[in-house]
Structure 1
Amino acid sequence: MYLNKSSGNYGCSSYKYGTYCAAPATIRASWVDDYVTDEFLRAAGPVQITHVTEIPGYDPQPEIDATIAEMEDHDQQKDRRKSKAGMAAWQRRADALDTRLAELEAREKTEPRRKAVPTGRTYADDWHSGDTTARRTMLVDAGAHLVVKRGTKGGWRTLDTRRVEFTISGDLDPAIEPNVTEAENIASEVRGDTPAPGITVRLAESVPITEPVPELVPLAA
């Protein structure tokens, strides 16, 4: 469901994107803002933000192919040399190409990789210091996804958490899993249904946001 904020509520606006929603719903905006904030900070707040640098790989094969082609072309010029000086010049170039080819063949192919450098800041730090736009960007970049279902009769005083489902997918998933597991274990102890040792609580699978979703989770500054 696509959400659009109006009069303090979020309402389904799928029609704006040419889609059909079989169960349109309306929910109080402040409930969503608070719920998303709590869930995001619970899962990702303690995680340290890293600056990722893309390091390109290297494949010597294109240069090897180009050098071989140049050597073959140079070899065809050998019989045209008539003078000793000309042959000496041809040989110097031939030797240089052969040396170059040997150097290239000694180089190893490397795959592109990503290097993550810690920034010293956590997601909670940037969340608390950022404005609404910065927070929305953090949610989208993290692969955050909020599902809102229709409410039940009488459920207008407080948020019925059965109506909402907040998930995060993508690069943050492995980093936030321990936080989610710990929080779920604490919640289970409070409820009296502590999971058995060894049980791991993972985030629900979620499809990353691939379409523009304006006003998905606008948060109060």
Structure 2
Amino acid sequence: MPMSNQGIGRILGHGSAGDAVASPSPARIGPNAVIQTGQALSALYGVGAARLIFESAGLGRHLEAPPTSMVDEHEPVALFAAIRAMLPPAEADRVLAEAGYRTAHYILDHRIPPLARKILPKLHPAIASRLLVSAIARHAWTFAGSGVFRGRVMDWTKPRVRLEIVGNPLATPGCPWHGAVFQRLFGTLCGSAATARHLECCASGQNRCVTELLCTGT
């Protein structure tokens, strides 16, 4: 029996499209943009290097006592900038990608309802990806902050996921953090996802960041 939109919403942990939550003011970002970046830095370079970078961003307090609620978007922006300023570009990208991967892992473990984690991978990728895009859009302000998120899925045979953030406040060249988050989520819940392609980037002077993934199934 086909599920209604309300039934799908309950599985994904939200209501109907009319229940979408607006971004608060000032714009805020989920704390894992900071927490998981600290863990990635510590794992790759040690706690001392992580502390140095956090302190240079004015966020040393968060390394000692990780935030437990949403943070002002300027905090992860400053942290990402400090990483890029203090590490070679390839190493900065490595840290941000690892932080994005860890953030997605946290989301899968703590923010995706168990029933959705069980059902979505069993659905056709064209259906699973559309449901996941809908769920992400409802909570987009937690990672897009003051940016405007749009997501859509093209094609049914080989679904192509296109995710956009207009005015992305967390943009860095190539957006390895966002790319890792999206690839991990879609790869886990919607079948095997090809490496995320970053087609446009606010960090390159464009007005939006665009990431595409191909969900091909197992």
TM-score by length of 2: 0.28
Q: TM-score, normalization: structure 1?
A: 0.27
Highest RCO, 1 vs 2 (Cα 8 Å, sep ≥ 6): 1
Work out which of the two has the higher radius of gyration on C-alpha atoms and give 1 or 2. 1
**Structure (1/2) with the larger helix percentage:** 2
Greater fraction of residues in strand: 1
